[in-house]
Amino acid sequence: MTSLSRQLLRGTVWMVAMRWAIRFIGLANTAIIARLLTPEDFGLVALAMIAVEFAITVTDGDIDMAIVRSRDASRDLTHTGWTLKVIVGVLTTGALMVCAPLVAEMFGDQRLTLIVRIAAMKPIILGFENIGVTEFRRKLNFQREFHYLVIQRIATFGLGLVLAFSFRNYFALACAGPVSAVVTIALSYLMVRSCPHLALAHWRELWAFSRWQMLFNTARLLGDRCDQVAMGQISGVVDTGVYAVGSDLALIPSRDVMLPAGRALMPTYATVSGDPAELNSAFCTVLGFAVVAASSLGLGLASVAGDAVKLILGNQWIGAVPFVKWLAVYAALEGIWLMLDPFLIAAHKERLLALSNVCLATLTVPAVVLGAQFFGVSWIPGCRIVVIFGCLVSVMAWLIFQKLVSLLQILDIVWRPVTAAIAMVLAVGFFRLDPSFIVAFSLIHDVFIGAATYGAALLLLWFLAARPEGVEQKVVVFVAPRLTPLIKRLFG
């Protein structure tokens, strides 16, 4: 395995481990709070957070990413980045305070005014986070970033439970964001002793990057949240809560594996961005791992959606099962889509990244709204699947046209994992236990069958294809030397 592959793998493993540690805490948090609060509580906060996240996203230029991408981030650059984040935080909170009544009027529920104003405190607090934490990623110190984000999540988890048991209504969810921001601020200054100060020397340089990221982030948010807006307008608060919680569970493969992997890959891509051959090699390696992870986790979750919802959320959320099943398929495609972000940014193609996400949002919004209006809200996940698949194929075609990757490379990377995933879904369905079995046992059984089938099918297809270079080879090379001594001790 090359040094680049090892670097990619090490960084990705750390960031995925971090995200799964955070996700495990988050699932425990959701499992408890879902039993304390009602779908109406979740629905109210989901509608309020549409406005809050929109305001945050429109003003978020990913300044941290601009600093990470820089090969020589000077102190003046980081001080300028911190100053801009403070200014943006103040403006965002002010705008939300003013617009809160409009959000309540839009969705016809005056409780949203207070919820929005409470949640609006998050950006102004988070703007003061010590920007020195970006050095963890820029210098590939993923272990330190792991500690930073996991400790932050553990503290937030504990405080969130205190809020839930204290209020037992939507106030607990509304207050969670500002409380999380306070924890983040305190921890950032504990882990990075140097303090930033006000400066604007490099604002033009950061703006040149951030303007495209603001467009990109806004487009992505519109595409992400248009389904909840449609649910809120058509089905009401309760169904929106069911959909929002189900969506959070279904999108684990893309949001909790691919996003942290991309976080790790950005600085690694940046080190080879000047060498087209190395960049192509890195992209093919990443795409291979992305397709394996996305197809196995996304289609795997879709095949066990019923038991997963019952076990994690409880029987009152059973209406989320159809949404989880199809949104998990969407998550598999979105996971691959998300892995294009760090590659395009490192290749200085942020304009293409922004425009492709604008195109995705432009198609997703009318598809979701019209699908929900004419065919019912159950069609929302299907509309999302069709749109993102078309956009993914289009971007891949552009990469082929620009000779950044070849069609044969993409086909060689994709066909084995996808075939293995289809075999996995069929095996889980064929060997499914009787519904009378205990839910936890049934879920464990299906996960074991699915994982064993996927792994066996993937390796078999790799052998039949004459063991080409790819993700399977890298896994075998990495795992085999570590398994051999164990097998000898067990059977020798």
Query: Per-residue pLDDT tens for 161-178?
Result: 888 888 888 888 888 889
Q: Cβ(196)–Cβ(132) under 8 Å?
A: yes
Check residue 97 and give its pLDDT.
93
Check residue 328 and give its pLDDT.
92
Residue with token string 């990057």: 209
**Is the overall model pTM greater than 0.75, yes or no?**
no
Check residue 16 and give its pLDDT.
58
Segment 40-60 shows an average pLDDT of 82
Length of the chain: 492
Check residue 492 and give its pLDDT.
53
**In the predicted structure, residue 352 carries a pLDDT above the cut 60:** yes
CA angle 157, 160, 162 (to 5 degrees): 115
Task: From residue 2, give the alpha-carbon distance in Å to each of 278, 405, 478.
Answer: 11, 20, 11
194-203, 300-309, 365-374, 387-396: lowest mean pLDDT where? Answer: 194-203
**In the predicted structure, residue 186 carries a pLDDT above the cut 70:** yes
**In the predicted structure, residue 409 carries a pLDDT above the cut 60:** yes
For 245-284, what is each residue's pLDDT tens digit?
888 888 876 666 666 565 556 556 666 666 777 777 778 8
User: How many other CB atoms sit within 10 Å of the CB of residue 348?
Assistant: 11
Q: Cβ(472)–Cβ(416) under 8 Å?
A: yes
Task: From residue 332, give the alpha-carbon distance in Å to each of 246, 298, 313, 336.
Answer: 16, 5, 22, 7
Check residue 421 and give its pLDDT.
94
For 190-210, what is each residue's pLDDT tens digit?
888 777 777 777 667 777 667
Task: From residue 11, give the alpha-carbon distance in Å to each of 204, 258, 331, 457.
Answer: 31, 13, 22, 27
The whole-angstrom separation of Cα 304 and Cα 296 is 12
Spell out the residues 6+ positions from residue 226 whose beta carbon is closer than 8 angstroms to its own.
Answer: 361, 364, 365, 368, 369
The residue that leads in pLDDT, 31 or 361, is 361
The whole-angstrom separation of Cα 70 and Cα 67 is 5
Query: 55-59, 122-126, 166-170, 423-427: which has the highest mean pLDDT?
Result: 423-427
CA 404 to chain CA mean position, Å: 25
The whole-angstrom separation of Cα 217 and Cα 230 is 20
The whole-angstrom separation of Cα 312 and Cα 95 is 37
Confidence of residue 452 (pLDDT cuts 50, 70, 90): very high
Q: Cβ(255)–Cβ(26) under 8 Å?
A: no
User: How many other CB atoms sit within 10 Å of the CB of residue 354?
Assistant: 21
* Whole-number average pLDDT of the chain: 80
Check residue 419 and give its pLDDT.
95
**In the predicted structure, residue 89 carries a pLDDT above the cut 60:** yes
For the record, the structure tokens of 441 come out as 């046992």
Spell out the residues 6+ positions from residue 133 whose beta carbon is closer than 8 angstroms to its own.
Answer: 145, 148, 188, 191, 192
Spell out the residues 6+ positions from residue 284 whose beta carbon is closer than 8 angstroms to its own.
Answer: 405, 409, 413
Check residue 139 and give its pLDDT.
66
For the record, the structure tokens of 306 come out as 């019923």
Q: Cβ(33)–Cβ(307) under 8 Å?
A: no
Check residue 279 and give its pLDDT.
74
User: What is the biggest distance separating any 2 CA atoms in the chain, rounded to whole angstroms?
Assistant: 73
Confidence of residue 338 (pLDDT cuts 50, 70, 90): confident
For the record, the structure tokens of 262 come out as 């991309």
**In the predicted structure, residue 130 carries a pLDDT above the cut 60:** yes
The residue that leads in pLDDT, 343 or 381, is 381
**In the predicted structure, residue 438 carries a pLDDT above the cut 90:** no
Query: 226-240, 270-284, 301-315, 467-481: which has the highest mean pLDDT?
Result: 301-315
Confidence of residue 101 (pLDDT cuts 50, 70, 90): very high
Give me the phi and psi of 311, to 5 degrees please.
-75, -45
